[in-house]
Amino acid sequence: MTCARSPSATLLTVPIPPMPPVQVVRPPEEQRRAKRLKRIGALLLVVGVLLFVVPSAVVHGLCAFVPCSPLRPEVGFSLTEDGRTAVETGRAAAVDLQELVVMSGVDPSWGESPVIWKVERTGDVPADWSGEIVLGEVPVGFDEAVPLTVPLTDGTAVGVSNGCYFSTAPVPAGPVPPGVVTLEYEQRPTDEFRATNTGFTPCAPEDDPSRPWIGASMLLGLALGAVGLACVIVAGYRYGPTTRRRGAA
């Protein structure tokens, strides 16, 4: 007796799961080679990071890597014993003070507003100088670059600079009280202001001897770091464990 298969019948197929890959362990000699290469790469990475970071951090501190606002002193005004108005910068700022200007306008633009009076540093200043400059009177160690030819009015401002950074403040309207330094929004005892007012962030000289070797150190650090990273990658890819399909040659 013969059985015929119905045309509508389908064959059942059972899927065969793929064979899981096997991990091939490198020979001992290649494993030792990989360990040596990884150690060398890690060492080069560490040395590269140190060469990139440390020299610049030693010279410039945190500001080598994070934006920092330069220090600028507050500018105040005091009354002298003979009743004249004086500009006060404090002792710390006075050491680096290079110029003082009186400009027209209470909100002037440095270098653009008309200058009514200007003095520039040309020599040494007294070691105990408090930073007091009587308006219209040239202090020791300075020369008058722009003579004062018009009277000072309420609509003027004073600016001080160390040659790189500057601070400005409007001249107070009316006479300032004695015994205090008058700032734009407050008053402080004169001795306290002179002792505690901040100075300027120093200028970085164009011929700063630290610049070339810091740049060379950073470039060398980048190069060593790149070589070290390549060594680590090669050690893991070329000599590390690998996988292979079962039955593959």
pLDDT at 148: 84
pLDDT for 136-165, tens place per residue?
A: 899 999 999 999 877 776 678 889 998 888
Q: Do 106 and 138 sit in the same domain of this protein?
A: yes
Confirm whether 68 is domain-assigned: no
Confirm whether 144 is domain-assigned: yes
pLDDT at 50: 84
Residues 218/224, Cβ–Cβ less than 8 Å: no
Confirm whether 57 is domain-assigned: yes
pLDDT for 4-51, tens place per residue?
A: 555 555 555 666 666 566 555 667 777 777 788 888 888 888 888 888
Enclosing domain of residue 184: 76-196
Q: Do 57 and 93 sit in the same domain of this protein?
A: no
Q: Do 58 and 103 sit in the same domain of this protein?
A: no
Give the DSSP H/E element, type plus range, for residue 195. helix 190-196
Confirm whether 2 is domain-assigned: no
Q: Do 235 and 123 sit in the same domain of this protein?
A: no
What's the token pair of residue 181?
Answer: 């330094």
Q: Do 56 and 80 sit in the same domain of this protein?
A: no
CA dist 241 and 105 (Å) reads: 75
pLDDT at 45: 86
Residue closest to 135 by CA, chosen among 92, 90, 94, 80: 80
Q: Do 167 and 112 sit in the same domain of this protein?
A: yes
pLDDT at 246: 47
Q: Do 120 and 179 sit in the same domain of this protein?
A: yes
pLDDT for 53-101, tens place per residue?
A: 777 676 666 565 666 677 888 999 999 888 888 999 999 988 889 999 9
Q: Do 108 and 50 sit in the same domain of this protein?
A: no
Q: Do 99 and 192 sit in the same domain of this protein?
A: yes
Classify burial at 102, counting beta carbons within 10 Å of its beta carbon; exposed 0-12, middle 13-18, buried 19 or more. buried
pLDDT for 178-237, tens place per residue?
A: 999 998 889 999 999 999 998 888 776 655 555 677 778 778 888 888 888 888 887 777
pLDDT at 192: 93
pLDDT at 189: 94
Residues in contact with 220: Cβ distance below 8 Å, sequence separation at least 6, in sequence order = 48, 51
pLDDT at 170: 87
Residues 76/88, Cβ–Cβ less than 8 Å: yes
Domain count within the chain? 2
